Structure 1
Amino acid sequence: MSTNKLVSIVMPTYNAAQFIKETIDSIISQTYENWELIVVDDCSTDETVSIINAYADDRIHLIKLSKNQGAAVARNTALKNVSGAYIAFLDSDDLWDKEKLSKQLTFMEENDYLFTSTDYAEIDESGEKTGTVVKSHPKLDYEGVLKYCPGNSTVMYNAQELGIFFIPDIKRRNDFVMWLQVIKKAKVVYGLPEALTYYRVREGSLSKDKKKLIKYQWKVYRDIEKLPVMKSVFLLFHKIYTVLKKK
């Protein structure tokens, strides 16, 4: 790879002690080494902070919020402290293939892509693959992202060209709101057709509560994106269909 640009990795976390060591290890194992990790802890009550502190070095930066404020605030706090030309996102219970950054950066640099995602494979709480692989779409514009949200831990964008994006304080679907902001400026998100991310499916996680996800999906369409009612209804039914189809 010709580039050696810094990649800032954004990771909000809350009570992730069970998984965060493995997640950070998957970053440290990257074949591409010019990265920084910005972890923002949202007042964890378990051993999350002490685990992160054990990794203290020049590339791993921990910011502790003074009170629990949710993932959107934690994500924005991390973004205020990034230094990289590229920004990648990794949830504190997901994992990366060791070549994730290298392959995705090459994909972006060789094609002059500003905004990309990858396929991801699902794993269970013990880290075993479930057999489900979610494919990225080869090319999505704003209308496409309204229907198909890229996997959070798969996304990377060129901040040097696009800038930094902040999101409103929404409890769920804040990653979706982020990608809708980025796509408006990038115009297209390109998918790298390789599963370079492992998404952990957890019982009791926010993303498992489908009814609340649907509620917040509607909130994004109407309150944040200001879409017409009929278009929002169409998109909501499309989302419900894709969720049921996945099952």
Structure 2
Amino acid sequence: MTPMVSIIVPVYNVENYLRRCIESVLSQEYKNFELLLMDDGSRDGSGKICDSYTYDPRVKVVHKKNSGVSDTRNQAAAMARGKYLQFLDSDDWLTKNSTRTLVEAAEEKDCDMVIADYYRVWGERVSQKGDIETDEIMAPSDFAEYMVENPADYYYGVVWNKLFKREIIEKYGLKMDPEISFCEDFLFNLQYIRCCRRICAVNVPVYYYVRRKGSLVSQNTNIPNLVKMKTSVFEYYRKFFKDVLPEEQYQKLLPQIYLFYVDAAKDDIVVPGPVPGSYRLGQERIQAKRELMETDDPVGNAYAAGKIAERLISEVARKYDLSSEEVMILYYADTFSDPGPKKDIAELTGLSRTGMMRVLLNLKLKKMMDTAEYRSEENEETEATDIAGDKGKMIRLVLMEEAYPVVKDLRRGFEIIGETMFDGFSDEEIREYRNLHERVRRNMTRILA
């Protein structure tokens, strides 16, 4: 089946961050994609990490001589089979609904480019970044008027918060310039926008951007070359506005256009302390809508319970450098003595069966869980969790010693949640609540019967 999206990841010496990046792609809610991992001559273990994911048929790995990020992206775009291209840097990661959000917007609104908000991460802090708030379809001239207000904003300059049509890139022979190491993404975006008819924005973050390295200047970039590159980029930037705007509008906005030449790329600056409006990394995924939390009906109660569990799982996952899906599997393996068929545990964790098996493999590689197959007819006593497999087989999940601290924190976390929920209750009130809750649970079971 031809993939709808080709997700392109240039990889170079990022072994400490690469698994998080790749797993954020493989755990996407949207499944119809191919993942192109382009190993650009890495000298660390990045290449082997890429190869370890080839068990998934959607993953394609290319090992090549080092040629830089722009040329690597060009090579990947030439190989891509998807209708759309999505770019991802190997030390960043995607939100769980990233690809779905972009594709649905492109398809529903028949757009040539989709631009989205993103999360800016520094240390343990995160803040949402965006600019365009309209949900109306924009022509290139409309988009340009938004862009000129923030001429050096990463929101406009980067490629990783956007979705591109491969057809347009191929039709107009668009490529990133390997000779430019300043604003190379931005130049490509300007070329692409000139070839668009319809552009739309979504106010949903789709990406986690982590600023790890210093700016070009702080990395001892040759200053004369930097000035030359910035002058060249500005000239193309100015010409872009002259081409897409009516002359009268272009002349009116010319002073703002020139701000690009003196403005700094705001997201290049690592902020030394908490920024107003920022929050701890992980909290961005677990913000709850107060109106739903206060709704006294089954939907509101289920929403509240889900948000509380999600918060704990996110915190534990972050503490042990695991994905939320991995923590959920460990939790269910520890909690349920007989979860039933594989499809049941996949449903409980919100994973596909393929996704669940991938998570199990990851946990096995991390020495947190072991698996063994045996016939379902056997009635062997075990403390392990049994999941029905294919052709009458069972898969036994055994928590390993490495997983014990994770499970211990989960157990204690849910204990604390329970204690907090009943804060101020008398023992009699707690017993009454639990009796009533059990009656409600039985009634709900009847509804589902």
Q: TM-score, normalised by structure 2?
A: 0.47
Shift of 1:13: 1.8
Task: Give the structure 2 partner of residue 186 of structure 1.
Answer: 196
Shift of 1:19: 0.7
Instruction: Give runs of aligned pairs for residues 20-99 of structure 1, distance below 5 A.
Output: 20-56=18-54, 57-66=56-65, 68-99=66-97
Shift of 1:240: 2.8
Shift of 1:15: 0.7
Identity, % of aligned positions: 24
Aligned residues of 1:136 and 1:150 also touching (Cα < 8 A): no
Q: What one-letter code is carried by the residue in structure 1 that aligns with 2:143?
A: D
d(CA) in 2 for partners of 1:244, 1:201 = 7
Task: Give the structure 2 partner of residue 235 of structure 1.
Answer: 260
Shift of 1:98: 1.0
Aligned residues of 1:142 and 1:180 also touching (Cα < 8 A): no
Partner of 2:203, secondary structure, is strand
Larger RCO (CA within 8 A; separation ≥ 6): 1
Aligned residues of 2:89 and 2:160 also touching (Cα < 8 A): yes
1:141 aligns with 2:143: yes
Shift of 1:6: 1.4
Q: Deviations over 1:56-78 (max 9, x none)?
A: 13211122222x22111111111
2:104 to 103, 106, 109: 106
Structural RMSD (CA): 3.2
Give 1 or 2 for the bigger CA radius of gyration: 2
Partner of 1:202, secondary structure, is coil
d(CA) in 1 for partners of 2:207, 2:10 = 17
Q: TM-score, normalised by structure 1?
A: 0.81
d(CA) in 1 for partners of 2:91, 2:157 = 17
Higher helix share: 2
Partner of 1:175, secondary structure, is helix
Aligned residue pairs, count? 236
Structure 2 segments unaligned to the other structure (5+ residues): 243-253, 272-449
Distance 1:109 1:218, change over 3 A: same
Q: What one-letter code is carried by the residue in structure 2 that aligns with 1:87?
A: L
2:169 to 163, 169, 191: 163
Partner of 2:160, secondary structure, is helix
d(CA) in 1 for partners of 2:129, 2:101 = 18
1:195 aligns with 2:205: yes
Partner of 2:202, secondary structure, is strand
Aligned residues of 2:119 and 2:129 also touching (Cα < 8 A): yes
Higher strand share: 1
